Amino acid sequence: MTTHSTKQIFSRIAKSAGLAAAALVMAGSAWAGFSVSGTQLLDANGNNFIIRGVNHPHTWYTQQTGAFADIAATGSNAVRVVLSNGHRWNRNSASDVANVITLCKNNKLICVLEVHDATGGGEEGAADSIANVANYWVDIASVLKGQEDFVIINIANEPIGNSQTDEKWTNEHRDAIQTLRNAGLTHTLLIDASNWGQDWQEVMLKHASQVAAADSLSNTMFSVHMYQVYQNRNTIENYVSSFLSTHNLPLIIGEFGADHQGEFVDAESILAVAEQYGIGYMGWSWSGNGGCCTSLDMVNNFNANDLTSWGDRLINGANGIRETSEPASVFGAASTSSSSSSSTSTSSTSSSSSSSSSSSSSGGGVCVEMCKWYNDDPRPLCENQDNGWGYENNQSCIGRTTCSNQNNGNGGIIDVCSGSSSSSSSSSSSSSSSSSSSSSSSSSSSSSSSSTSSSSSSSSSSSSSGGSSSSSSSSSSSSSSSSSSSSSSGGDTGEVVADILINNDWGGGYCASVVVENTGSSVVSWDVAIAIEGQVSSLWNAKWSQSGSTLLLQGVAWNATLQPGEMNSSAGFCANR
């Protein structure tokens, strides 16, 4: 954020437009602390952790240590702490940072530490380089190591200004990640977007996977700062949904307010979208903003009993901190309570789970209902709660209603089947407490540095019949990038092209989306044959069989028909090598 009186006030910016997965999550990371799994941030116990918190300008107000307890009292589960490496402001020493971490832990706050000195790099002449900021983290590594359960390192605040090259943001962050990893820092790393954090040129939206691929631990997440660029829900939701579906990496809204320098910010939609998509947010800021931006103070003069209208909205309003925040389980509390669900809900969802476990599957396989969370791998459905994220049976889970209410991407409740041939669908599943149906509505496009995949879905009924197709082999990739193989089939009236888009790769196996497109001029019902590596362990939203390295896929009732030019990526699979 650029609100402190000694910092550059930037010019107005024109508004621009699982089965295998669950096993992987339970296996955990090879290091202590937070870790990244698809679009989720997992705490040290393997629980999904959704950040709900506040920014605190510690480096300018080092005596305001009581703010940590005050912020915790709002219900926040995290605090983003402003630090300085000494380039522009007084350097926060290793001992001071150690004290900050202690204050966070004492108040059961996850500590997101950031260095502010590089803000506006390339446009702000006084800004330090990302490389120098990375060296600061190495300098104070002794107080960071051992705190991986409680600390996330936000390498540099808004370190790239406007109208800089994509390569500057990408390459400098890649180098910084490697600097920290080479120093033995295994913490989850958080990367701020370009354009003073607002990414109106979509640099991070295009290149996040490329940056994440530089992390030898695959433990990097990303942050967009939402101010006057984000003045309506469509802009906010399009950015969030596009980022998640494109990169399959965690995203948070690291800063936002209700206005910025006199311009409107759609904070209501930011809060609603963050809750809908299960991503974190951190409002700017607790107190002490400079003359341009005092409206962004949450309390007046660091007095917790004197909330501003912005502070009251963020803390006490709908989708705000008190309503949605859950403490990190490393402090001894479950990430999401399942005991609040009624006994009837437990009974009905258990019955639903039982019935889904016995779903039909030709070839001796078994199908279970799971949640396809946007473009992520399938995740378990909660048995004891219908809304939000939970933790049951030693793994994270998603409530049925939350899963079904996705508005973008190709998510929803799906059948995940094991065996040589199985039938899966996204038909509705009901319980006494709620009735939910899978959703694969809305068109969205997704891309990565190595391949591009556009996806859209339609709900229609058709028999599955179509021409055969041939395919080229797929190649593996890390979870932060994707690779594809394609096949095509011709017919009298249409042609179907199929691509494999790898979303997650852990060496011994991988999960991928299957993207089918009708490139012809007439409606077709698709079936394709694609070459894959390994043996399919689970597959969703298609009828299938496998012979050697050839996977035969056919659409199910709701996704079998493709209109001319239509693309659908609702089908997918996991395979063991």
Give the residue numbers marked as catalytic: 158, 255
The span from the CA of 8 to the CA of 363, in Å, is 65
Give residue 184's Cα distance to chain centre.
Answer: 25
Positions of E strands within 246-375: 251-256, 259-260, 263-264, 280-283, 366-372
Is-contact 474 529, C-beta < 8 A? no
> Judging by DSSP bridges, how do beta strands 550-554 and 543-547 pair with one another?
antiparallel
The span from the CA of 428 to the CA of 371, in Å, is 12
Q: How many CB atoms lie within 10 A of CB 344?
A: 11
Handedness of CA 354, 355, 357, 363 (dihedral sign): positive
Locate tokens 């219900």: which residue? 75
Task: Walk across the sheet containing 543-547 and list its strands.
Answer: 421-422, 543-547, 550-554, 527-531
What angle do helix axes 130-139 and 166-182 make, rounded to 10 degrees? 10
SS3 at position 227: coil
The span from the CA of 202 to the CA of 15, in Å, is 12
The span from the CA of 281 to the CA of 283, in Å, is 7
Tokens of 286: 């607790």
